[in-house]
Amino acid sequence: MDAARAYADTELLRFTTAGSVDDGKSTLIGRLLYDTKTIFDDQLAQITEASQRMGEDQVNLALLTDGLRAEREQGITIDVAYRYFATPRRKFIIADTPGHVQYTRNMVTGASTSDLAIVLVDARKGVLNQSRRHAFIASLLGIPHLIVAVNKMDLVGFAQEVYDAIVADFTAFAEKLTVPDVSFVPVSARDGDNVVTPSARMPWYLGGPLLHLLETVKVSGRRNTIDFRFPVQSVIRPHQGFRGYAGTVASGAIRPGAEVVALPAGLTTRVRSIETFDGPRDEARAGDAVVLTFEDEIDISRGDMVVPTKNLPTTTRRVDAYVCWMDQAPMAPGATFVLQQTTRQTQAVVDRIEYRVDVDTLHRAEAERLGLNEIGRIALTTSAPLFVDSYRVNAATGSFILIDPHTHVTVGAGMVRGEVRDVPGRAGPGAPGEPAATGPVSANVVWEGWNIGREAREARNRHRAAVIWLTGLPGAGKTPIARQVEGLLFARGCQTMLLDGDQIRHGLCGDLGFAPADRTENIRRVGEVARLFFEQGAIVLCAFVSPYRQDRDRARALVPDGRFLEVLVTAGDEVRRARDPKGHYARADAGRVADFTGVSAPYEASVAPELVIDTDGAGIEACAYRIIEALVARGLVPAAQGDDRGAPS
């Protein structure tokens, strides 16, 4: 029993291996498992048979981790392989990650929870681009310890000068990183030199073997033990007398009686109890899956976060972050994604790409997009506030993933630097022509939750909130259709708000012109106003030319998925000009109106709008009813009891 208890208390080290293709990562892990006698006889027999079948002259220990048939046949690693072994001094979990550049995303996965990274370098090839890439990712992910294993020393005659040159090269590169502890060891994974036992063939190396470094490195743990963060996963209510909130403590610790605040509502309470499957507990720490109960009945749901009242995370909808891009299709400004951070999920739009990191030199390069496996710094805007800490302070609340909303594939892994702090006049999201300023974010402003939630307003209104965005060239018929739709909805008892270009330009946006930058800022402001009315439970009708696709996408990202309907209103050129009571087309043709969309300024049509309405041969009422029918079909408004055609507009 004492031996079992001592084993259970043995310290755990999580580490990852990475490097270029054929540097010997899997062989090194196989050697660690073999020489520490932590493989079973049937495993050894299996890889011995496989080695003979492949024509190997000795047992190929790499096959211990290359478990997939495709990997064994190709002799490469194509996925993250996790392995476990232990010595009397320490327990280990290893993440063996691929070396191919197209699998860099797997290295991010394997390294995200590691305390140490082993970067292998082939002694024959020296420090390659992929070795630098993996070292940079390890630094970016905040891994505190890095071991550079110079492998295949047997193939260079165990020459010290080869090893010293690689150490000098990597040391010069590592000086640009933020890894506090970098060690080097020369090894031959194939023969076992300096892996578990010291090598007699390299007497010039005075350090210990790799296993000694792994056993003695100080594991401080990457979990934040100070800042309590509890992302709510679900509400537990087995009966009327119990309401609890389930989740895993992301960081810090909590005890009954502690004063906490629930975000985003901002309501304070005290922890009544900490419940587990085995009964109540006196404390919950990082990694513990628990159910919290509170002294007060407050509204908390999945995606909310419980934190101490005097230790708050940053609440923001504008995130400054590094991202490792994982998709074949490049990331570009204006793209929209689903952002998952802890248990919170919201829509997000890429405002801009600040720069791409050149992993060879660590220099910052200007970039209009990020390609597969590239790493860059970006600015994001989310439709709902996030509760974040800097990744280096708290990896649990400082990390997120980006998900393609159409394929549901994870396309990016992000690490939060902080909140975006634009300065007045700074260039923001790009648009045709001059980039637009997104506007400064006020300092020392804390997000305040809505006094009355949208769901409560929707219940009273008996319809759901939505944003209907009518876009198209001047004269296509956007405003008349929007006015008709609002009249029909109002007659049905719906709460509505109509935002029209002329009304906005007479007040809120009276300081803006019609240059590309001003147009983008105009739509940005409209989107924010629409979101406010949306949260009030209204059906918001926005009738704007809004010529730039990414501006419309940004407005879409401000509200939940399924609540934004983009309606492309079209009409022939002659029809639009005939409907032009203000004479804008004629003045634009004469050169007296600059930047007029459809004449001297571009219009970017929607790729996949929810609705396309051609007004050439259709009346305003018929067009309006198409929008009403779309709202009913999506369950946003109830169907009318009778025919309301002819309702006031």
| Residues labelled catalytic | 546
Amino acid at 529: V
The CA distance from 115 to 213, in Å, is 13
Cβ(221)–Cβ(115) below 8 Å: yes
Crossing angle of the two packed helices 478-491 and 620-633, in degrees rounded to 10? 60
DSSP state for residue 640 in the 8-state scheme: P
Instruction: Choose among 264, 418, 268, 243: nearest CA to 344.
Output: 264
The CA distance from 264 to 451, in Å, is 11
Q: Could you give the 3-state DSSP secondary structure of residue 108?
A: helix
Beta bridge partner(s), residue 146 = 117, 182
Cβ(568)–Cβ(612) below 8 Å: yes
Half-sphere exposure (Cβ direction) of 492: Cα atoms closer than 13 Å: 26
Pairing outcome for strands 375-388 and 410-419: unpaired
In 237-341 the beta strands, taken as DSSP E runs, fall at 244-248, 253-254, 259-263, 267-275, 284-285, 289-294, 305-308, 314-325, 336-341
Q: Which two tokens stand for residue 137?
A: 């990712």
Cβ(416)–Cβ(398) below 8 Å: yes
Beta bridge partner(s), residue 386 = 316
Task: Write out 425-492 in H/E/C secondary structure.
Answer: CCCCCCCCCCCCCCCCCCCCCCCCCCCCCHHHHHHHHCCCCEEEEEECCCCCCHHHHHHHHHHHHHHC
Which residue is associated with the tokens 């220099």?
363
Q: Which two tokens stand for residue 113?
A: 């929870």
Q: Could you give the 3-state DSSP secondary structure of residue 57?
A: coil
Widest CA span of the chain, in angstroms? 96
Pairing outcome for strands 564-570 and 611-614: parallel
Q: How far is CA 278 from the centre of its chain?
A: 35
Q: Phi, psi (5° rounding) for residue 340?
A: -110, 120
Cis peptide before 560 (omega within 30 of 0): no
* Those residues with Cβ within 8 angstroms of residue 348's Cβ, 6 or more apart along the chain or in another chain: 319, 336, 337, 338, 339, 380, 381, 382, 383, 402, 557
Pairing outcome for strands 375-388 and 344-357: antiparallel
Cβ(452)–Cβ(349) below 8 Å: no
The CA distance from 533 to 540, in Å, is 7
Element (H, E) at 573: helix 573-578
For the CA atoms of 56, 60, 66, 72, the dihedral, rounded to the nearest 10 degrees, stands at: 10
Please, where are the H alpha helices in 121-217?
129-140, 160-174, 210-216
Q: Which two tokens stand for residue 123?
A: 């002694």
**Positive or negative, the Cα torsion across 489, 492, 496, 500?**
positive
Length in residues, the chain: 649
